[in-house]
């Protein structure tokens, strides 16, 4: 089990690389709780777009599919969604109600990690480090629940010095090449 890592290990990893690591944490947690086949594809596909699409659009879309947003006791019509259809919203509500709460926490934490610097250029080490506490929170959730962390070495290929700290665009498949 590779559970001896902290967010400080990610100082030289791009924001896209950090979010990819967090999404891999979620995938590991899904396997740990045997929930990967329950219908998480839509959520995972949307989360992974952080690594290869416009991040402002990612932030807007992901904010709508967060468990905290979907599960709030507000009628769909009043939620002012611009992306999720009512059917997808209702499907997610059922999925989240049947899922382990660790997975729900991880989705919300991935959103926070991705959104923390979304509208700035990572021009200083202080800004680069701003997302590390969010990543540490995800790592802590994983270790507290005895869930195997992803292999850190897979993320060394995404250095912070690319694309003003955001890193180059990549797909999930490239993480495991």
Provide mean pLDDT across the span 33-39.
86
Given a cut of 50, is residue 158 above it in pLDDT?
Answer: yes
How far is it, in rounded angstroms, from Cα 113 to Cα 118?
9
Question: Are 69 and 23 spatial neighbours (Cβ–Cβ below 8 Å)?
Answer: no
Provide mean pLDDT across the span 4-16.
89
- pLDDT class of 141 with cuts at 50, 70, 90: very high
Q: What is the pLDDT of residues 97-116, one digit of tens each?
A: 999 999 999 999 999 999 88
Provide mean pLDDT across the span 152-174.
91
C-alpha dist (Å) from residue 93 to 6, 50, 56, 63, 74: 32, 22, 24, 14, 12
How far is it, in rounded angstroms, from Cα 44 to Cα 104?
12
C-alpha dist (Å) from residue 177 to 25, 89, 115, 157, 173: 18, 34, 27, 10, 7
Residue for token pair 């990543």? 135
> What pLDDT was estimated at residue 128?
65
Given a cut of 80, is residue 159 above it in pLDDT?
Answer: yes
> What pLDDT was estimated at residue 123?
55
Choose the weakest-confidence range: 38-42, 79-83, 92-96, 164-168: 164-168
Query: Domain segments of the chain: what residues?
Result: 7-150
> What pLDDT was estimated at residue 1?
42
How far is it, in rounded angstroms, from Cα 103 to Cα 167?
26
Given a cut of 60, is residue 21 above it in pLDDT?
Answer: yes
Q: Which two structure tokens, joined as six digits, stand for 92?
A: 């997610």
Answering whether pTM is above 0.85, one says yes
Percent of the chain predicted with pLDDT > 90? 72
How far is it, in rounded angstroms, from Cα 70 to Cα 87?
12
> What pLDDT was estimated at residue 122?
53
Q: Which two structure tokens, joined as six digits, stand for 54?
A: 């416009």
Q: What is the pLDDT of residues 71-93, one digit of tens each?
A: 999 999 999 999 999 999 999 99
Half-sphere exposure of 149 (CA within 13 A, CB side): 24
As a whole number, the mean pLDDT across the chain is 90
User: Torsion-angle region of residue 155: left (phi > 0), alpha (psi -120 to 50) or beta?
Assistant: alpha
Q: Which two structure tokens, joined as six digits, stand for 140?
A: 């802590």
How far is it, in rounded angstroms, from Cα 13 to Cα 155?
7
Given a cut of 60, is residue 132 above it in pLDDT?
Answer: yes
């Amino acid at each position: 089990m590779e559970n001896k890592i902290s967010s400080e290990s990610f100082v030289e990893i791009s924001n896209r690389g950090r979010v990819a690591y967090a999404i891999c944490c979620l995938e590991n947690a899904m396997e740990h709780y045997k929930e990967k086949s329950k219908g998480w594809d839509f959520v995972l596909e949307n989360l992974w777009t952080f690594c290869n699409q416009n991040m402002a659009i990612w932030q807007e879309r992901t904010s709508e599919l967060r468990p905290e947003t979907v599960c709030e006791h507000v009628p769909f019509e009043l939620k002012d969604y611009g992306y999720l259809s009512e059917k997808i919203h209702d499907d997610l509500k059922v999925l989240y109600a049947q899922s382990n709460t660790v997975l729900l926490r991880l989705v919300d934490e991935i959103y926070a990690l991705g959104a923390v610097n979304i509208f700035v250029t990572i021009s200083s080490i202080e800004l680069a480090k701003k997302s590390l506490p969010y990543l540490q929170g995800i790592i802590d959730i994983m270790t507290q629940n005895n869930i195997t962390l992803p292999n850190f070495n897979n993320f060394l290929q995404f250095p912070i010095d690319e694309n003003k700290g955001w890193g180059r665009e990549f797909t999930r498949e490239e993480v495991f090449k």
